[in-house]
Amino acid sequence: MAARLSSTLGCWSQRCRGVGAAVPWSLAPRVQGARVRPMYKSAGDLAGTRVKVVDLRSDTVTQPCAEMRRAMAEAEVGDDVYGEDPTVNKLQHRAAQIFGTEAALFVTSGTMGNLIPVMCHCRAGGAEILVGDQSHMYIYEQGASAKIAGVLARPVRTRGDGCLDLQDLESKIQHGYPDAHFAETRLICLENTHNRMGGRVLPLSYLREVRHLADRYGLQIHLDGARLFNAAHALGVEPAQIVQFCDTVSLCVSKGLGAPVGALLGGRAQFVADARRVRKLLGGGMRQAGVLAAAAVVALNRAEENVISDHRNTKAFSEGVQTLASPLCTTDPSTVDSNIVLLTLDGRLPGQELCDRLVNVTPLELESGQGVSVRAHALSASCVRVVWHRDISALDTQLALRKLSDVLQTYTAEQSCRVTLPCRGLGKLR
């Protein structure tokens, strides 16, 4: 496998998607072959080295393309708090069309895009929302629903496919309300695609079941659709066909779609009017925000082509890992629905150590002029996440696969030496 990969990597140039210019790999970002820093921190630079960086930590690391930068520089702007920024208004109108909702709102981040619906749907303090125990809202947003909104997040068991267990979901609804002992359940929160479950996609049939359940108990549904375009492409449908089962939806434009900042929130016109007030309360009134919205417009226009490429590269990598057939590190391509791969480790090579070895560049690599530094994120000691986005090409994908193959082979050889070397020269045992 490694030999076959090497033979396909003779050309070390990559094409900049959306720009069209061939960029020699030697001009690509250069980084130090040091241990991986914590999530969202740079690994640093090593001046004078020829190292190709393949950053798979997250799809949040995307860089705005030339088309986005031009749009930002030329954007027509106004005061968005007054509703007078034409570029923001254009973006929000386009987002509402994509969602199939009455209106949409541009907000600073996906976290804000998830908090605002909680505050709008659960106006009474002490209300309760039902969230997946592996969801982004429950794990990665600092308990904002409790800290800021005064709303209890009650966890529901998440299945391996990213769906909430419907039996557990129904059992967690506070059926005793309005008894004075119980909080009032107001909102069900779903995530599609599902980050910690490896980008799994929730089927339309499942969304329909949750909708029926919510209607039976008079509950609202918010969809954390940070990667909504990935879900839509995987299902072969328009985003609106997913959103139709939900009352509100959020979408990040700063992940794989490549915009530098922002998220979009969709729902009924009255909800968006309420959401605009809450956005201001949270410090999200951005005034001349058209310079940011302009990049988001480009991101939406280019979303489909970028997502198609990302899914193709993700699937190719997962199939390549399976072909390596290493007991140290495995993945199941049949569970790869979108742009995320979870690498499962067997316990001998811890997740963070694998990330450290992937980012490090050996002296031999530097001498050969073919150094590759791959950045990945360890979710745990037994699981490493890699994520594809618009800045990762097919060539980058093959480089990452070859680097993983080399790391696994080197680790296996090192462990073999540690087992055999102590036995040499010991002579007859007494």
CATH class of 66-301: alpha beta
The pLDDT score that the predictor gives to residue 422 is: 55
Examine the pLDDT at 24 and tell me if it is beyond 70. Answer: no
Q: How far apart, in whole angstroms, are the C-alpha atoms of residue 250 and residue 192?
A: 10
Examine the pLDDT at 371 and tell me if it is beyond 80. Answer: yes
Give the count of beta carbons closer than 10 Å to the beta carbon of residue 375.
21
Residues of the chain with CATH 3.40.640.10: 66-301
Helix (H, G, I), strand (E, B) or coil at 225: coil
Cα–chain center distance at 44? 22
Residues of the chain with CATH 3.90.1150.10: 2-61+304-421
Lowest mean pLDDT among 53-57, 237-241, 262-266, 360-364: 360-364
Pull the structure tokens for residue 385. 């996440």
**Cβ atoms of 154 and 171 closer than 8 Å:** no
Q: How far apart, in whole angstroms, are the C-alpha atoms of residue 389 and residue 314?
A: 9
Q: Give all strands (DSSP E) within 86-239, no chain letters.
A: 103-107, 128-132, 152-156, 185-191, 220-224
The pLDDT score that the predictor gives to residue 19 is: 34
Q: Give all strands (DSSP E) within 27-146, no chain letters.
A: 51-55, 103-107, 128-132
Q: Measuring CA to CA, which residue among 406, 339, 345 is closest to residue 370?
A: 406
The 10 Å CB-count burial string (b at 16+, else e) for 405-422 is bbbbeebeeeeeeeeeee
Q: How far apart are the first and last CA of the chain?
A: 45
Give the count of beta carbons closer than 10 Å to the beta carbon of residue 40.
10
Q: DSSP readout, 295-311?
A: HHHHHHHTHHHHHHHHH
Pull the structure tokens for residue 96. 């509402």
Structure confidence by residue, pLDDT tens digits, 293-352: 999 999 999 999 999 999 999 999 999 999 999 999 999 999 999 999 999 999 999 999
Structure confidence by residue, pLDDT tens digits, 61-94: 999 999 999 999 999 999 999 999 999 999 999 9
Residue 193: is the preceding peptide bond cis (ω within 30°)? yes
* Arch. (CATH architecture) of 2-61+304-421: Alpha-Beta Complex (3.90)
Of residues 249 and 46, which shows the higher confidence score? 249
Pull the structure tokens for residue 328. 């140290």
Q: Measuring CA to CA, which residue among 286, 259, 263 is closest to residue 112?
A: 263
Looking at residue 414, the DSSP 8-state letter turns out to be: H
Examine the pLDDT at 362 and tell me if it is beyond 60. Answer: yes
The 10 Å CB-count burial string (b at 16+, else e) for 255-275 is bbbbbbbbbbbbbeeebbebb
Examine the pLDDT at 430 and tell me if it is beyond 70. Answer: no
